[in-house]
Amino acid sequence: MHILDGTAVRARIFSGLKPRIQELKRPPGLAVVLVGHNPASEIYVRGKIKACGELGIFSEKLTPPETISTAELLAIIDELNHRSDIDAILVQMPLPKQVDSRRVLEAVAPEKDADGFHPINVGHLVAGRPAPRACTPAGVIEMLKHYGIPMDGRKAVVLGRSDIVGKPMALMLLHENATVTICHSRTTNLAEECRRADILVAAIGRPAMVTADYIAPGATVIDVGQNRIDDRIVAKRLGRAEEFDRKGYALVGDVHPIEVLHCAAAYTPVPGGVGPLTIAMLMANTVALAESHQSRLESNQAIAESH
């Protein structure tokens, strides 16, 4: 069993980003919009701001109140779209119920879309053209490459069909020449379909749902899930009693953390597997957007000077 450590891959990505940041004329700028006080969102945003600090990326956190309207949030996005010191914009999900999330995400300028969620950037992903990529699946691809796990010609099963992970994950694996099946809650013979996979990506949002029945011997299992367990009996059954006693809760993925050890050849643990790479790829997107903004400015200046 090979445990795939995301922190090692993140360190490699960060060390590749630092010289690129130094070559820019100004630090890349990331704006994070965090509406209200969702505790999980606050933790994620703290991690993102911390990573910016480590790399020398300028970050600005905007915290509008829980009661904000769609129109007010759209005005904030519009202002960020027009700011020359901001290269990338991230709107932390979920948004409050009264806000039209789709309208807000689509209001972010595609060339400032830190998350790769804008329909134009999703279209670029489908077409295999360069554009910001959804951070979690992009991190999974980096993980597989870092550990030399072949994708070309392999059978990959993606469990989950969300716009954030499942769908872009399937497309990215397809671009690496894997043969891809997308499974979800309505798939018949779900365990049997998953057992066909050389690479199984679990992103369905159900704690420890993927048991040994779902995993082919020798498969690589990528666990994207992050589920909070508030019941000590459940935590104990999943081998997380010690963590529960320390924190009052335990974190588990979508894969059963004990059963996976007996059948998979390689596995990403939760926490410490895919999580660190989501933030690393957000930083990579921000730097790439800053580079393309700088090169656009330089080419516009060259055109202006030639006239």
Predicted local distance difference test score (pLDDT) of residue 291: 97
pLDDT-derived band at 75, boundaries 50, 70, 90: very high
**222-237 pLDDT, tens per residue?**
999 999 999 999 999 9
- In this structure, are residues 58 and 29 in contact, taking their beta carbons and an 8 Å threshold? yes
At 30-46, the pLDDT tens digits run: 999 999 988 888 988 99
Ordered domains of the chain (ranges, CATH): 26-112 (3.40.50.10860), 135-276 (3.40.50.720)
Asked if the model's pLDDT at residue 261 lies above 90, the reply is yes
Decide which of 38 and 150 is more confident: 150
Active site residues: 48, 92, 115
Residue 40: predicted pLDDT: 81
Cα(291)–Cα(22) distance, rounded to whole angstroms? 11
Residue written as token pair 């979920």: 94
Is beta strand 155-159 parallel, antiparallel or unpaired with respect to 88-91? unpaired
CA distance 54 to 61: 16
User: 116 CB contacts (<8 Å, ≥6 apart)?
Assistant: 122, 125, 131, 132, 133, 134, 135, 138, 168, 285
What is the pLDDT confidence band of residue 306, given thresholds at 50, 70 and 90? confident
Residue 86 CA neighbour count, 13 Å, CB half: 24
